[in-house]
Amino acid sequence: MTKLVLTVIDGLKPSALERAVATGRAPSLGLLMERGTYVDDCVAAFPSVTPVCAAAIATGTFQDRHRIPSMNWWWREERRYVEYGSSFGASRRFGINRQLTDTVYRMNMEHLAPEVTTVFEDLDDAGVRTAGTTYLMYRGRHEHQVSRDTALTRIAGTTLFRKPILGPKELFYADIYASRKTDCKSTLGMPGIRDQHSGCVGAHLVEHDLFDFLLLSLPDNDTHSHRYGPHAQVISIHEADRQIERVMHAAGGPDAFLAEHAMIVMGDHSHAPVEASIDLFAELKDFDLTGPGAEKPHLGEIAVCPAQRSAMVYVLVPEARETLMPRLLAACLQIEGVDLVMHREDGVAVITRDEAALAFAPGTEVRDRRGGEWVVRGDLGVLDARIEDGVFVSDAYPDALARVWAALDCPTSGDILLSAAPGHEFVDWGGADHVGGGSHGSLHRSDSLGALIMTGVDPGDRGDDHQWSIRDVADLVRGHFQVASAA
């Protein structure tokens, strides 16, 4: 059995990857595409934001099972917001310490549903040697204490992260956790340094034969695309390609590496250009909106959770839900830049756009491109959809029914979900947006379809017309090692 490296290039847009390869800026990725299978329409989760997608990649499930609903969400049990780092300003609003604790520790140890298993857990249970670089989802079976190698990590170990975490056998998380000493430094995961740290760690692991499965995370493409726009990804893809080359070089070069390693390279989502922002707080000012600074935040009418090109609204007063929901839905439909408004009603999912609505639920009347079965009622034009030979197809909103159903069926999701129109993004709690740059989060194809490359991996019996999803990858990994999910 060959070893396997799963490389996640955050926000990898297929058209940008193809330009990088065509112009010679990504020779390693070009080689993998040439020798393997390339997919240019691998569908993200919805919302197509990194925490939701990372959980889907790691577990093979959507949030109706893994329960990570968005980048910013309202935790009903603790009656507070959870913020995973939308921006530095947003982190400051909620408290840097709380944001770090939620992101680094509680996301894996508490927020991620205990009844689903990650690929690390399943492979650990089977005796496969696992390893991972800095990635939002790392839950495994091996205990790790905070590193004491620097003053900052020693402070973190005595103030924030006092409990050990469970991760893969070899874990290197932004200098905070390091299962062994290396010469690799990440400066606590600062953007622009993270890919270099992953490449350094990956090369060390290859050189010393320390894994059978490695999740190699290369997140800097996402940061670059947020700032400069998806058209500028060629530069950051080039930098990611250099780290892949570095890892291959540690094995003696591409040929020697691929003789012993299979490789999956993927984007967790894509990126779309942003031309205008949506201030959801101002748009919903007629409601009693609870904020992070409220003395009793749970006493407001609603909680608002923007997450780039998606957003969620929670109703905080159950006894007022019957009157609040119609008002909220009407208000959301009037907001310029909002494309789709989604909610559940009597066990049925409803998507509204302008004056039209589409309702659906699991059933047996139509299939989607992945074989899911549904009952659909209303205006197919809401999703620019059509029925072809009994198959529900939407080119503009890929895998829409399954993605929206999972989002609405997630117990930690909001009562109303919003997807921004192309070119628009919601302002976060810190007042930040990416106007002039790129972003993601919506149901639309522009930021939902990422790249997927499989080299030395058996894609199974999926046909040429199979709609690939990021949730397929966990089973590709399990299948490579002939390991079943314990969930």
What tokens were used for 117?
Answer: 């298993």
3-state secondary structure of 369: coil
CB 307 within 8 A of CB 81: no
The pLDDT tens digits for 159-195 are 566 688 999 999 999 888 999 999 888 765 566 689 9
The pLDDT tens digits for 367-422 are 999 999 999 999 999 999 999 999 999 999 999 999 999 999 999 999 999 999 99
Give the containing element (helix H, strand E) for 274. strand 272-278
CB 487 within 8 A of CB 121: no
3-state secondary structure of 447: helix
In this predicted structure, the answer to whether residue 153 has a pLDDT above a threshold of 60 is no
- Closest Cα to residue 449, out of 407, 378, 398, 382? 398
pLDDT for the residue numbered 71: 98
Q: How many residues does the chain have?
A: 487
Q: Where are the beta strands (DSSP E) in 77-204?
A: 80-83, 130-132, 142-144, 165-167, 170-173, 177-178
CB 432 within 8 A of CB 357: no
Q: Which of 147-161, 204-218, 402-416, 453-467 has the lowest mean pLDDT?
A: 147-161
Average pLDDT over residues 269-292: 96
The pLDDT tens digits for 195-214 are 999 999 999 999 999 999 99
In this predicted structure, the answer to whether residue 253 has a pLDDT above a threshold of 60 is yes
Provide the residue ranges of all domains of the chain, joining segments of one domain with +: 3-68+112-271+445-480, 274-438
- Closest Cα to residue 408, out of 318, 313, 330? 313
Specify the CATH number for 3-68+112-271+445-480; select among 3.40.720.10, 3.20.20.20, 3.65.10.10, 3.40.50.2300: 3.40.720.10
In this predicted structure, the answer to whether residue 150 has a pLDDT above a threshold of 60 is no
The pLDDT tens digits for 33-81 are 999 999 999 999 999 999 999 999 999 999 999 999 999 999 999 999 9
CB 137 within 8 A of CB 58: yes
Tell me how far apart the terminal alpha carbons of the chain are, to the nearest angstrom: 24
Contacts of residue 74, Cβ cutoff 8 Å, sequence gap at least 6: 80, 81, 82, 303, 305, 312, 314, 316, 414
pLDDT for the residue numbered 163: 80
Mean pLDDT of the chain, nearest integer: 94
